[in-house]
Structure 1
Amino acid sequence: MVQSNDVGAVTFEVKWLGEKNGNLQLKVEMNTHSVDLDGYDLGKLALLRDDAGKEYLPVFWDSPTGGHHREGVLTFQITDSENQYFNLIIRDVAGVEERTFHWELGAG
């Protein structure tokens, strides 16, 4: 499932990739015509929050530089497989304090 957010000068599209090797992965695309995106390190600006309020920082942000168009994969190490939902929160990109993307995982 892909979610998008076009608040401010940068459009985000985030795709839930699911679990791989015990880690949760999300593909993130950023596009703009007015901001150099290379200065934004989502490895430091993103976090994942579960239904219990526990926060996870990325263990890896794999993204080549790209100027106005950038994409990569955020990887989080998740220890609890019983979560009902996750929120991906991306902070402080192009003047937008916080963007939230929400995924419902369903029961058990």
Structure 2
Amino acid sequence: MEDELVAHLPTDVRAALRFFAYYLGNGTLDVDLLDGIDYRAHLLEYGSDLEMVFAIFANVLEVDELGETVNDGDAQYRAAQWIRRRCDPGYQVEPPFEAWETELHGP
């Protein structure tokens, strides 16, 4: 273990994830787009939707060479668009999601 490197997510990325989870759980994720939609019960009822919301946020989130996030607001908005579409089938996501935004990574 002497040469083993342990890396952690940059502090800014951890903060972005924490705030995203807070707004999501608090029901205040992008209040303009999701105004009047209580999406929390829906996300908990269908776990795959919650999985996709976090995947979209993480896939869209960009980090610069210093490990600082550069677009956490955009990442939150794209996740909010997914939620809105799942709760409001008449809502049109603009621009439409690209495959890389909704890709699920991992085992």
TM-score by length of 1: 0.30
Point out the structure with the larger helix share: 2
TM-score by length of 2: 0.30
Identify which of structures 1 and 2 has the higher relative contact order when contacts are C-alpha pairs closer than 8 Å and 6+ apart: 2
In terms of Rg, which structure is larger? Answer: 2
